[in-house]
Amino acid sequence: MIAELISVGTEILLGNIVNTNANYLAVKLAELGISNYFQITVGDNEERLADTIKTALNRSDIVIITGGLGPTKDDLTKEVTARVLGKELVEDVHSREQIKSYFAGRNVKDITSNNWKQALVVEGSIVIDNYNGTAPGLIAESVNGKKIILLPGPPNELYPMFEEGIIPYLRSLQTAVFYTEMVKVCGIGESKAETMIADIIAAQTNPTIAPYAKDGEVHLRVTASATTIEEGRNLVEPMVKELRKRFQNTIYTTREEVNLEDVVVKLLTDNKLTVALAESCTGGLLAGRIVNVAGVSSVLGEGFITYSNEAKQKYLGVDAETLKSHGAVSAETAIEMAKGAAKAAGSDASIAVTGIAGPEGGTQEKPVGLVYVACYLQGKVTVQELRLKGNRQKIRNSTVIYALNLLRNCILDES
């Protein structure tokens, strides 16, 4: 099956909002084994939207349209879809009750008349309840059996609706089952990772491997087409085993929902270790990443943002002579930062980062992107020099990944 994505909204075209819905839906379609060849964004214009839908129906089996289901005059998606399909809009009594209940739950008694527009649905369509808003989703069918799926624009409404109502529907249309595992690799670049599995990719049939590059990571999606989940799992398992053999400890998880910080916090917890953080160029980004994990307070007690040399001396005990002789961006300073953070916090482990994120501040000897990451673990310090590329935000994001991975490797080496 081939699906096409249409995002509706002038605000997307103008760049006022970032279209995260298309990214989310593309990932989900890939997981379902549904091909996606086109993604289109169209403004709130009736004729252009109609032409876009007609074109999509000519070349795709499923058309997924997001946005334009609200109560205002410029929300035209249902109206245009009905016109393209040659159908009427009719009121859905159940949806009207859902809208009434939504407002009642928020103690809104004066419901404006335009809100009832959202209870209108394309004649003969399947209505998908919206438990997080007032616009229901719809699944409509053209005369030749092609499907149009209408979804609300707000991500907090679209995501749960797609998970609960649309994914089961799409699976019911498929004759095959698609089973996927995500192998997440850290510390190896995309080109090297692809080279390491070039022979597998060249010979692949079923299952297949698709590499995705992330900041400091490479994700390898292994997907098998089968008649049952069990059969798919059996096809994927040998491939994942081979990837483990080749990438070894650079693989930190094979679970889609698990992130690097989850793995690090679990390692700290399982080994009964506490950690402190000392950040210069990342300025709290590392702390922000690790506190994404629920329960991190059991292993993380303190973090230090020591951007200036004075702060490095005051809070971490970095020696003035070290800063004078080697500079703030040096292996020697990173080592002293790591030791000082662990001592100040009384922790078993620490991570320290110092570097030049740019765009200014670099020299020939110490260019933008030069970063030192140090890990202290129970008396031993390991330091890593990085030469990162990209803009300021990318360098900082990559530094966080390398810092977390260094801590992960240090714990694994001592376990």
Q: Give the tens place of pLDDT for each residue, 340-392.
A: 999 999 999 999 999 999 999 999 999 999 999 999 999 999 999 999 999 99
How sure is the predictor about 216, in pLDDT bands with cuts at 50, 70 and 90?
A: confident
The reply to whether the predicted model has a pTM over 0.85 is: no
Looking at residue 115, the DSSP 8-state letter turns out to be: G
| Rounded-to-integer distance, Cα 124 and Cα 88, Å | 9
CA geometry: angle 157, 59, 228, nearest 5 deg: 65
pLDDT higher than 90, residue 31: no
User: Which residues 6+ apart lie within 8 Å of 301 measured at CB?
Assistant: 274, 275, 276, 345, 346, 347
Average pLDDT, the chain: 95
What is the domain class of 177-253 according to CATH? alpha beta
pLDDT higher than 90, residue 144: yes
CA distances from 176 to 35, 41, 100, 173, 399 (A): 14, 30, 40, 9, 41
Q: Judge contact between 139 and 167, C-beta under 8 A.
A: no
Q: Would you tell me the crossing angle of helices 77-85 and 46-59 to the nearest 10 degrees?
A: 50
Q: 3-state class of 229 per DSSP?
A: helix
pLDDT higher than 90, residue 215: no
119-122 CB contacts, 8 Å cutoff, 24+ apart: 119/91, 119/92, 119/93, 119/95, 120/78, 120/89, 120/90, 120/91, 120/92, 121/78, 121/89, 121/90, 121/91, 121/92, 121/95, 122/78, 122/81, 122/82, 122/85, 122/87, 122/89, 122/150
Distance of CA 124 to the CA centre of its chain: 36
Predicted pLDDT of residue 364? 92
Domain made up of 2-173: CATH architecture: 3-Layer(aba) Sandwich (3.40)
How sure is the predictor about 295, in pLDDT bands with cuts at 50, 70 and 90?
A: very high
Predicted pLDDT of residue 415? 80
CA distances from 89 to 74, 97, 143, 149 (A): 16, 17, 17, 15
Q: Which of 174-188, 252-266, 302-316, 364-378 has the lowest mean pLDDT?
A: 174-188
Asked, as a colleague might, if the bond just before 367 is cis with ω within 30 of 0, I would say no
User: Which residues 6+ apart lie within 8 Å of 15 measured at CB?
Assistant: none
Predicted pLDDT of residue 190? 86
Superfamily of domain 260-414: CinA-like (3.90.950.20)
Over range 312-336, report the average pLDDT. Answer: 98
pLDDT, one tens digit per residue, over 318-328 is 999 999 999 99
Predicted pLDDT of residue 110? 85
Name the residue with higher pLDDT: 242 or 1.
242
Over range 285-292, report the average pLDDT. Answer: 96
pLDDT, one tens digit per residue, over 155-214 is 999 999 999 999 999 999 988 888 999 999 998 888 999 999 999 999 999 999 988 888
pLDDT, one tens digit per residue, over 77-131 is 999 999 999 999 999 999 999 999 999 888 888 888 899 999 999 999 999 999 9
Q: Give the start-to-end residue ranges of the domains of the chain.
A: 2-173, 177-253, 260-414
| Rounded-to-integer distance, Cα 226 and Cα 46, Å | 42
Domains 2-173 and 260-414 share a fold: no
